[in-house]
Structure 1
Amino acid sequence: MRLTTSHWRAVRRYFLVFTAIALLPLALVYLVRNEQIYRIKGYEYVNESHVPVLPEESVHTLSPNDVERIEKRMERRRKLLQEKCAEFGLDVVGNDTWHKPNAWEFLVNKKYHIIWCNVFKAASSSWMFNFNVLAGYSPDFLQRTKEVFLNLARERYPRVSIEKLREAQNDSITFMIARHPFERLLSAYRDKLVFALPHSYHDKLGRRIVRKYRSKSLDMNSPKYPTFPEFVRWLLDQIKHGNVQMDMHFVSSTMFCTPCVINFDVIMKFDTLDEDQLYLIHKTGLTRVIAPEWRNAGKGKNTQELLQSFYSKLTHKEMHGLYQYYKYDFELFNYSASSYFNLVQENGT
């Protein structure tokens, strides 16, 4: 009996050794294949000491005079922001959504010491591309992938607490991009509702808006998506009922980034983005790493004719409601709404 037991122990031992040797090549193949899959998806391993270098023809620079001129522009914007924050009492930390520091949408890149509050529909696609490049995704992969850029970014930029954000700001440059509130709103409406992908969240939202706000008197040729007045009525009802965080594409930039209680070093603007981008890239020392980007420039860029066409369909009451909600965005970033109210007056409503 002892011999039999010893015999089976030896057989089992040899079997395990043989199995391990046989499976080793398969394990190696799996690991190599797994790494290749990661590379194909863009999750390539990044050597943190390696800094990607743009080809010479892709490098854009500013002259010293331009840097000085744009620096003065940034100083004026920071000064106006500080004055308006104090004027409206927004620089006092509180518990409501206008006064409580919100770090939720910040992307913190510790390697390159740059921090961005991502205001949607304010060159967000362009800078999401850049931040994904800084996170280690190759530009070639980003050009080809069907993945949502924001989802890719969040895998590399986890959300931070306000304490972690302030700590990271000690040796980083923090920036945001401002855009005229009514331009941004129209761009978001067209991108997310007019051109909504079938069966997407915004496609379903649009159908709900149509069911609730469309008059039965409209003819059969009316679009399946909400008209701009229908969308505005829905938006004003969301605001009225306190659902001020109704959608990240429509929410006020002031509420979204809370710039009165979180410090910003650079405030870029959509209307001066060409120069402002170059200035930020120069300021962060990233001229050989990223280049200025203009993505979604066609569908999302509103001409004056488009703005007039859509906003002239609103009533004075609706325009006033929109202005009241976006008032801080107008004031803090020096935008005017007078021309839009003139459209309503000319329309006689």
Structure 2
Amino acid sequence: MESDTYRLDKDIFMLLYVRRHFPDFVYNMQSLNILRVFFLVALGIGTFTFYAIKRYTVFQLRSYPIATIKEDNLAPERFDKRLKLLHSRCPNDYTKAKERSNWVPIPHFLVDPPKKLLVCVVPKSGSSTWHGIVWALRRKRAGLDEDQKFYRWNDTVENHAMARKLPPKVGQMLGVYHDGDDDLFQSPRLGQSHRLVLARHPFARLISGWKDKFSYNTAYGDRMFKHFPKLKDYNVSVPPENFTLAFEDLARYIADHGRDERKLDYHFMPATSLCKPCNYAYTYILKAESVDKDQQWLMNRINMTDLKVVRRGVNKKGSLLQINPSDSIKEYMSKLDLEVVKKLYTVYVKDFVYFGYTFSLTTMKSGGFE
């Protein structure tokens, strides 16, 4: 009886729907049976589509091995070129950094002692990916699933805390240079530490930081207004839809106040201020623009190709920037007065000089992505 009632309710629903949308429909038992078949087929198709979309979406969000790009044989040459450029432009004698004997961690270090890994993460340069890597290494050793769906904000805090808590001897093991550490054409020696600093074109970082921190999807911009009161004085332009601050206004604020790092949020500080590349003996400079070419080689060298890590901001082809970075930079920098651009260059000049990035004030073209 209950099933008959349920079937009657379904028939009434179908008839009401058809009467509303098809007033000329002829009602009889044959047409009613046709309607039943039609609605059952429609329900089946709808259910299948729903679960197919759901499964596809979950698959897209699921972690996948970070080393999925074919290894580039020229990667060692690129890393070596960057390192030699940095050494040639550091004002201090590089041998002093090599012989550094004291462990002095900085807030942006991530470490994994068992892998002999030290990473200085720079916001908007692939830092989220490396937070995930360090976290996944700990999870894997503990026998836990390293799928990124289990990653929480507290794990980011713990990642940073690990470097501060390291015993000095362990820190020295990670941070001190040994002869041959920067010979990238030979296999790493047994027990060698791997010291990595992230880099990205300074103006690309600035643009990405603005998009990320001043959209309506985050409250981070509001916190910046509160923490840096002078920023409100620069909020004079009409921001684009879904943004709380125009890019031009943020650029003017950083141009005027960026040389006083107390007035900058760390997302917009120069990478050289965050990671001090002339004071630490980094062996790898990983550029965001060429991560698709470099990261496979680096993961193989560190023996970390089996991790399942979501590369945030990186499509499956590997590129952090899905469009030509030079064109994107030109589009935004062309909106600014030339004097503002000159001041911004001064704020980030060490990032340009030490990491080999370029920018033309006449053509607004950028380079140094390799």
The normalised TM-score by structure 2 is: 0.62
Corresponding residue number in structure 2 for 1:230: 249
User: Does structure 2 conserve the Cα–Cα contact (< 8 Å) formed by 1:209 and 1:231?
Assistant: no
Deviation (angstroms), 1:143: 1.6
Does 1:117 find its partner at 2:120?
yes
User: Does structure 2 conserve the Cα–Cα contact (< 8 Å) formed by 1:115 and 1:174?
Assistant: yes
State the alpha-carbon separation in 2 of the partners of residues 269 and 104 from structure 1: 20
State the alpha-carbon separation in 2 of the partners of residues 103 and 328 from structure 1: 19
User: Does structure 1 conserve the Cα–Cα contact (< 8 Å) formed by 2:119 and 2:197?
Assistant: yes
Corresponding residue number in structure 1 for 2:85: 80
Corresponding residue number in structure 2 for 1:178: 199
Corresponding residue number in structure 1 for 2:359: 337
Cα distance change of structure 1 residues 226 and 285 upon mapping to structure 2, 3 Å threshold: same
State the alpha-carbon separation in 1 of the partners of residues 270 and 353 from structure 2: 12
Does 1:131 find its partner at 2:134?
yes
Corresponding residue number in structure 2 for 1:147: 153
Deviation (angstroms), 1:314: 0.9
Cα distance change of structure 1 residues 331 and 342 upon mapping to structure 2, 3 Å threshold: same
Aligned residue among 324, 339, 343 for 1:321: 343
State the alpha-carbon separation in 1 of the partners of residues 295 and 330 from structure 2: 28
Alignment of 1:201-212 (within 5 A): 202-206=221-225, 208=229, 211-212=232-233
User: Does structure 2 conserve the Cα–Cα contact (< 8 Å) formed by 1:233 and 1:318?
Assistant: yes
Deviation (angstroms), 1:343: 4.4
Letter in 2 for 1:276: D
Cα distance change of structure 1 residues 277 and 177 upon mapping to structure 2, 3 Å threshold: same
Deviation (angstroms), 1:342: 2.6
Alignment of 1:189-228 (within 5 A): 189-195=210-216, 197-198=218-219, 200=220, 202-206=221-225, 208=229, 211-215=232-236, 225-228=244-247
Letter in 2 for 1:328: K
State the alpha-carbon separation in 2 of the partners of residues 219 and 194 from structure 1: 13
Cα distance change of structure 1 residues 167 and 320 upon mapping to structure 2, 3 Å threshold: same
User: Does structure 2 conserve the Cα–Cα contact (< 8 Å) formed by 1:102 and 1:162?
Assistant: no
| Helix, strand or coil at the partner of 2:173 | helix
| Cα deviation code 1:235-273 (max 9, x no counterpart) | 233325x23572221111111111112111111111110
Cα distance change of structure 1 residues 91 and 228 upon mapping to structure 2, 3 Å threshold: farther
Cα distance change of structure 1 residues 221 and 314 upon mapping to structure 2, 3 Å threshold: closer
| Helix, strand or coil at the partner of 2:281 | coil
User: Does structure 1 conserve the Cα–Cα contact (< 8 Å) formed by 2:299 and 2:305?
Assistant: yes
CA RMSD of aligned residues (A): 3.6
State the alpha-carbon separation in 2 of the partners of residues 121 and 61 from structure 1: 21
Letter in 1 for 2:89: K
State the alpha-carbon separation in 1 of the partners of residues 115 and 362 from structure 2: 44
| Helix, strand or coil at the partner of 1:111 | helix
| Cα deviation code 1:53-109 (max 9, x no counterpart) | xx998865866xx44x321221111111111114xx585989xxxxxx763211121
Alignment of 1:90-109 (within 5 A): 103-109=106-112
Cα distance change of structure 1 residues 149 and 296 upon mapping to structure 2, 3 Å threshold: farther
Deviation (angstroms), 1:193: 1.6
User: Does structure 1 conserve the Cα–Cα contact (< 8 Å) formed by 2:195 and 2:282?
Assistant: yes
Cα distance change of structure 1 residues 196 and 220 upon mapping to structure 2, 3 Å threshold: closer
Letter in 2 for 1:110: P
State the alpha-carbon separation in 2 of the partners of residues 176 and 314 from structure 1: 30
Alignment of 1:241-320 (within 5 A): 242-244=260-262, 246-288=264-306, 290=307, 293-297=310-314, 301=321, 303-304=323-324, 306-320=328-342
Letter in 2 for 1:79: K
User: Does structure 2 conserve the Cα–Cα contact (< 8 Å) formed by 1:106 and 1:159?
Assistant: no
Gaps of 5+ in 2: 1-62, 98-103, 177-191, 366-370
User: Does structure 1 conserve the Cα–Cα contact (< 8 Å) formed by 2:64 and 2:310?
Assistant: no
Gaps of 5+ in 1: 1-54, 95-100, 345-349
User: Does structure 1 conserve the Cα–Cα contact (< 8 Å) formed by 2:239 and 2:245?
Assistant: no
State the alpha-carbon separation in 2 of the partners of residues 56 and 190 from structure 1: 26
